[in-house]
Chain A
Amino acid sequence: MSTVTTPVRIRIEPERASESLRRIREEVVAANGEVALDLSLLARIDSSALREMELLARAAEEKNAKPAVHGANIEIYKVLKLARLSERFRFVD
């Protein structure tokens, strides 16, 4: 019998998106690879946060994991697509 663990769901605050993502990468992803990002509060995403998303995806891939993303609006989704990051995350809703 296998057990399924639900990854921790972390809401990203717009004011400190880049910093939060870095911390998540260093603390959560580095530990077990699994994470669920809640982007529902983000109306936009800047380039430094995007770079952190990329590093986070890479860190998760090293652990054979694919981070989940919740609540990304269509604008954010398109930005992730343009940055070629959309395939590296699971979009949950």
Chain B
Amino acid sequence: MSEKVPPPQLSEERIAYLEGLVSQARTAAAAFSQCTQEDVDRIVKPMVLAGLEKAQYLARLAIEETKIGVLEDKAIKNMVATEFVYNYVKDKRTVGVIREDPEHGLLELAEPIGVIFSLLPITNPTSTVLFKCIMAIKTRNAVIFSPHPSAWRCCSEAVKIMYETAVKHGAPEGVFTCLESHTLQDNAYLMHHKDVGLIDATGGPGAVKAAYSSGKPALGVGPGNTPVYLDKTADLDMAVVDIITSKTFDNGTICASEQTVVIDDEVYDRVLRKFEELGAHICNEKETELLGRTVIDPATGYMQPMAVGQRATDIARFIGLKVAPDIKLLVAPIKGVGREHPLSVEKLFPVLAVYRAKSTDEALKVCVDVNHAGGLGHTAVVFSNNEEVVRKFGDMINAGRIIVNSPGSIGALGGVYNDMVPTFSFGCGTGGGNSTTDNVNVYHYLNIKRMARRTQAHMWFRVPNQIYFNMKAVENLRNFPSRSTIIITNPALEAIGHADVVRRALPPETQVRVTIIPDAEPDIKIIAQGVEALNFYKADQIVALGGGSVIDAAKIMKLKYESPEADLEELAAPFLDIRKRVVQYPTEKVNHSRLIAISTTSGTGSEVTPFAVMTDKERNIKVTLADYSLTPDVAIVDPQFVMSMPKGLTVDTGVDCLTHALEAGVSIFASPYTDSNAMMAIRLVFKYLPESYENPQDEEARTMMHNAACIAAIAFSNASVGVNHALAHAFGARFGVAHGRANALMLPHVIAYNASVPTKFMPSPNQRAYVAHKKYAMMADLIGLGGHTVQEKVQRLIGTTERLLDRLGVPRSIAELGIPKDEFERALPELVKNAFDDPSWRSNPRMPLISELTELYWKAYHGRTAAYADAAQERQEAEAILV
């Protein structure tokens, strides 16, 4: 039964008849779905041959019945609808896999639509039948045809020829049916039927509108009003012949045929003379006025149906116009577009309006007016040898087909004058109320299924070109020749003589200047001063000596020195995937310099990272830059510069380093390359951070912690960090807590959080399963924590981490920092908001919900985890390991 209540006036018998048609088509379509590509190709070819053989016969039937058009042209149309369409479709795959893109893991598969309900026009009845039957068989669909009432006999004969040939060669019975004499109610009933998958409406505006209004997917072909621009540079002989050929083809019944030709003033008279020479009658003003009020309905402004497809001489005789007996076209000069100029609308008969344009601009404007007077989305034609004019015309006109230096109607059909897809249905886009601007073809008769295979994302592992490490590694500076080197450092490092150590290590011929910047997150003014110094001394080398702030400052100074136009705020635009980011860092450089980073803390790892942070104090904003072009060219990891690092700094930076390694280890961007670094960093931190803290002069411990910071940074430079950093950034900024300590507050809770089953998984094409808990267990194994199950191992890792934090004497809860509960509670919404805005968590294995961030903050407020409280045994074992 149909989905909607049938419209009134349909009898039960009529409904039964229509239901029978649908049932038959549905059964045929179902059976047809089993056919292979070879099966359908075997059916299509004899159909095409049958259509070709009967081309003239069907043309004659159409002429006799419709009294529209030209026999010879209708025969040609039937041949185009078969031979040209076949030529296009014969090698096209329309069954099973129709396209493959192995490089991108994509496959397209064809799924037939099933039952198509198809409206047929009076103007091109049999050719449209042939065209649609071939498309339907090629795509394994069944069609119920509804011909224009005045073209029923010729259409049903064309359907019969196609049907019998198709069934004879293997198509299922019932694949095509043709409605007997019918009413609009029949059409409405079928348009709303739930078993009709698609409506293909080729017909008048009413039929097309009804199709689109049915709520069904529809291919509707809107009306046209083809403007033609005949530019002064055009080949006039060719243009006039093409226009006459097109406009008189089948007496102008193709809706893509020329309607108004806008001619440049310079060639206007010559063009009209040529029209006249070739059999056109040029109307005078009075004749034009007569034509306008007779062939166009003054009430509606549309063409009179009785004129459609009639000969020029018959039209002239009918309206009392005296013309030569052999004229083929009536050319009517008009002075504008719109209701006052009736001939400026669509005229599907051999009456052509012409307009004299004083300039290209005026010509284009008139073409735009014609285009908007009922022809949006359809077809337009330009004759010109000026490419600029052709392009301009293309830009200005809204038409699915813009035909250049060729006839509009035959050009738009495709395959004859150009390589467009051959069709008898012109999609007119939204301008014409259609869903496509394509020449309708077999692919519009298919549901195309895209099979997308999981692709392995390209990963990367990028580090500085050279890394020198171990005690006195700074001496490698002598291997880097430079005329002018600027050392960027802070006052404390200058005061204790570290800058001098660096200066002495540089080659003796190098001019060395020292720029001192404050030991704080660099401000935009400091950057500007640094860049000024680099320019003044024409530096070819920058040595950044310091912790994260100094090295970050040097990275940004280098960027601005080499690319002064770089807009830092724009470069700081957020991104999800560094390979797909919107903003690109500059590649053109006005200066070139080498950046050597010497770290004097063991935590941030800025000497090897592609990140830099600065503030704009005036605007109170923080600018975070991330790009591999920021990575220093050379990193020097020399522990001599950290031997005197204070205890507090040792802890802060050491915990930061541990957090980097733990988060990189479970990141969704983790790879074997980053894992090897992350895991080793974790091992070194657990072993050497307590020693560094308790025995600051232990050279081995300092060296190993310095290395750990660097390799943890290598890991997170390529795998990024996670939710721990997001929480710590927001909390540290709000309550002025050092980054390492803020990390420490969150760390055990975040491990427990990531190790449990996520509420929401993070999309991570690089991972084949949720592995965070297993990665933590692997880390526990690496540092020898024992345990039998993954869960046990994770618990031991959490417990051991907590014991380490205890041993380092860091505050273990937000409450311990002296932040009152009510103050924390008030700050919490903003903290959670900022943490959620922080990009760090986007590589976290588990996607945090807002509620989960809140819960994590509360856990950090209260302090130690359950694992810490309950697992006394594990604690003892962990302590033994740490000792």
Contact with B34, one of A48, A54, A79, A84 (Cβ below 8 angstroms): A79
**B30 on the interface (CB 8 Å rule)?**
yes
**B114 on the interface (CB 8 Å rule)?**
yes
In Å, the complex CA distance between A46 and B171 comes to: 10
A contact residues around B173 at 8 Å (CB):
46-48
Chain A window 45-75, contacts with chain B (Cβ cutoff 8 Å), 1 for yes, 0 for no: 1111011001000000000000000000001
| Shortest Cβ distance from residue A20 to the other chain B in the assembled complex, whole angstroms | 17
In Å, the complex CA distance between A63 and B172 comes to: 30
In Å, the complex CA distance between A46 and B172 comes to: 7
B contact residues around A75 at 8 Å (CB):
34
Contact across chains for B34 and A45 when beta carbons are under 8 A apart: yes
Contact across chains for A83 and B172 when beta carbons are under 8 A apart: no
A contact residues around B114 at 8 Å (CB):
82
Chain B: number of interface residues, binned into ranges: 10 to 19
Contact across chains for B31 and A47 when beta carbons are under 8 A apart: yes
Q: Known interface pairs A44-B34, A47-B31, A50-B31. Does A82 touch B26 (Cβ–Cβ under 8 Å)?
A: yes
**B29 on the interface (CB 8 Å rule)?**
yes
In Å, the complex CA distance between A75 and B33 comes to: 9
Can you name the residue of chain B whose Cβ is closest to the Cβ of A45? Answer: B31
Can you name the residue of chain A whose Cβ is closest to the Cβ of B26? Answer: A83
| Shortest Cβ distance from residue A83 to the other chain B in the assembled complex, whole angstroms | 4
**B68 on the interface (CB 8 Å rule)?**
no
Chain A: number of interface residues, binned into ranges: 10 to 19
| CB neighbors of B among A32-51 (8 A) | 44-48, 50-51
Contact across chains for A84 and B31 when beta carbons are under 8 A apart: no
B contact residues around A78 at 8 Å (CB):
33
| CB neighbors of A among B137-182 (8 A) | 172-175
B contact residues around A44 at 8 Å (CB):
34
Chain B window 1-27, contacts with chain A (Cβ cutoff 8 Å), 1 for yes, 0 for no: 000000000000000000000011011
Contact with B172, one of A47, A54, A80 (Cβ below 8 angstroms): A47
In Å, the complex CA distance between A50 and B24 comes to: 10
Contact across chains for A79 and B26 when beta carbons are under 8 A apart: no
**B195 on the interface (CB 8 Å rule)?**
yes
In Å, the complex CA distance between A47 and B140 comes to: 13
Contact across chains for A47 and B27 when beta carbons are under 8 A apart: yes
Of B32, B34, B174, the most chain A CB neighbours within 10 A belong to B34
In Å, the complex CA distance between A82 and B173 comes to: 16
A contact residues around B27 at 8 Å (CB):
47, 50-51, 54, 83
**B303 on the interface (CB 8 Å rule)?**
no
| CB neighbors of B among A10-47 (8 A) | 44-47
**B28 on the interface (CB 8 Å rule)?**
yes
Contact across chains for B33 and A84 when beta carbons are under 8 A apart: no
Can you name the residue of chain B whose Cβ is closest to the Cβ of A80? Answer: B30
B contact residues around A47 at 8 Å (CB):
27-28, 30-32, 172-175
In Å, the complex CA distance between A82 and B34 comes to: 11
| Shortest Cβ distance from residue B30 to the other chain A in the assembled complex, whole angstroms | 4
Contact across chains for A50 and B30 when beta carbons are under 8 A apart: yes
In Å, the complex CA distance between A10 and B148 comes to: 48
In Å, the complex CA distance between A55 and B114 comes to: 21
| CB neighbors of A among B341-357 (8 A) | none
Of A44, A46, A75, A82, the most chain B CB neighbours within 10 A belong to A82
| Shortest Cβ distance from residue B280 to the other chain A in the assembled complex, whole angstroms | 54
In Å, the complex CA distance between A46 and B167 comes to: 12
| CB neighbors of A among B19-71 (8 A) | 23-24, 26-34
Can you name the residue of chain A whose Cβ is closest to the Cβ of B173? Answer: A47
| Shortest Cβ distance from residue B544 to the other chain A in the assembled complex, whole angstroms | 66
Can you name the residue of chain B whose Cβ is closest to the Cβ of A85? Answer: B30
A contact residues around B23 at 8 Å (CB):
54
Contact across chains for B172 and A79 when beta carbons are under 8 A apart: no
Contact across chains for B29 and A82 when beta carbons are under 8 A apart: yes
Can you name the residue of chain B whose Cβ is closest to the Cβ of A44? Answer: B34
In Å, the complex CA distance between A83 and B30 comes to: 5
Contact with A84, one of B24, B32, B174, B195 (Cβ below 8 angstroms): B195
B contact residues around A79 at 8 Å (CB):
30-31, 33-34
In Å, the complex CA distance between A39 and B630 comes to: 69
A contact residues around B195 at 8 Å (CB):
84
In Å, the complex CA distance between A79 and B31 comes to: 6
B contact residues around A46 at 8 Å (CB):
31, 172-173
Of A48, A51, A83, the most chain B CB neighbours within 10 A belong to A83
| Shortest Cβ distance from residue B583 to the other chain A in the assembled complex, whole angstroms | 49
| Shortest Cβ distance from residue A43 to the other chain B in the assembled complex, whole angstroms | 9
Can you name the residue of chain B whose Cβ is closest to the Cβ of A50? Answer: B27
| Shortest Cβ distance from residue B851 to the other chain A in the assembled complex, whole angstroms | 43
| Shortest Cβ distance from residue B797 to the other chain A in the assembled complex, whole angstroms | 49
In Å, the complex CA distance between A79 and B622 comes to: 63
| Shortest Cβ distance from residue A49 to the other chain B in the assembled complex, whole angstroms | 8
In Å, the complex CA distance between A2 and B114 comes to: 45
Contact across chains for A84 and B172 when beta carbons are under 8 A apart: no
| Shortest Cβ distance from residue A14 to the other chain B in the assembled complex, whole angstroms | 13
| Shortest Cβ distance from residue A40 to the other chain B in the assembled complex, whole angstroms | 16
In Å, the complex CA distance between A23 and B173 comes to: 20
| Shortest Cβ distance from residue B783 to the other chain A in the assembled complex, whole angstroms | 53
In Å, the complex CA distance between A80 and B175 comes to: 16
Can you name the residue of chain B whose Cβ is closest to the Cβ of A81? Answer: B30
In Å, the complex CA distance between A16 and B195 comes to: 29
| CB neighbors of A among B329-379 (8 A) | none
| Shortest Cβ distance from residue A41 to the other chain B in the assembled complex, whole angstroms | 15
In Å, the complex CA distance between A47 and B33 comes to: 11
In Å, the complex CA distance between A52 and B172 comes to: 14
Can you name the residue of chain B whose Cβ is closest to the Cβ of A51? Answer: B27
Q: Known interface pairs A47-B27, A47-B28, A54-B27. Does A82 touch B174 (Cβ–Cβ under 8 Å)?
A: no
| Shortest Cβ distance from residue A51 to the other chain B in the assembled complex, whole angstroms | 6
A contact residues around B29 at 8 Å (CB):
82
B contact residues around A48 at 8 Å (CB):
173
In Å, the complex CA distance between A78 and B114 comes to: 13
Chain B window 632-646, contacts with chain A (Cβ cutoff 8 Å), 1 for yes, 0 for no: 000000000000000
B contact residues around A82 at 8 Å (CB):
26, 29-30, 33, 114
Can you name the residue of chain A whose Cβ is closest to the Cβ of B23? Answer: A54
| CB neighbors of A among B539-574 (8 A) | none
| Shortest Cβ distance from residue B696 to the other chain A in the assembled complex, whole angstroms | 73
In Å, the complex CA distance between A78 and B33 comes to: 9
B contact residues around A45 at 8 Å (CB):
31, 34
In Å, the complex CA distance between A83 and B115 comes to: 11
A contact residues around B32 at 8 Å (CB):
47
In Å, the complex CA distance between A51 and B26 comes to: 10
In Å, the complex CA distance between A75 and B32 comes to: 12
| Shortest Cβ distance from residue B435 to the other chain A in the assembled complex, whole angstroms | 24
| Shortest Cβ distance from residue B520 to the other chain A in the assembled complex, whole angstroms | 69
In Å, the complex CA distance between A81 and B836 comes to: 48
A contact residues around B31 at 8 Å (CB):
45-47, 50, 79, 83
In Å, the complex CA distance between A45 and B33 comes to: 10
| Shortest Cβ distance from residue B874 to the other chain A in the assembled complex, whole angstroms | 54
A contact residues around B175 at 8 Å (CB):
47
B contact residues around A83 at 8 Å (CB):
26-27, 30-31
In Å, the complex CA distance between A32 and B26 comes to: 29
| Shortest Cβ distance from residue B317 to the other chain A in the assembled complex, whole angstroms | 53
In Å, the complex CA distance between A79 and B34 comes to: 8
B contact residues around A80 at 8 Å (CB):
30
B contact residues around A54 at 8 Å (CB):
23, 27
**Which 9 interchain pairs have the tightest Cβ spacing?**
A83-B30, A47-B172, A82-B30, A47-B31, A44-B34, A50-B27, A79-B30, A47-B173, A47-B28
Chain A interfacial positions (CB closer than 8 Å to B): 44-48, 50-51, 54, 75, 78-80, 82-84
Given A47-B172, A47-B173, A82-B33, 17 more A-B residue pairs with CB atoms under 8 Å apart are: A44-B34, A45-B31, A45-B34, A46-B172, A47-B27, A47-B30, A47-B31, A47-B174, A47-B175, A50-B27, A50-B30, A54-B27, A78-B33, A79-B30, A79-B31, A82-B114, A83-B31
Question: 15 pairs across A/B with beta carbons < 8 Å?
Answer: A44-B34, A45-B31, A47-B27, A47-B172, A47-B174, A48-B173, A50-B30, A50-B31, A78-B33, A79-B30, A79-B31, A79-B33, A80-B30, A82-B114, A83-B30
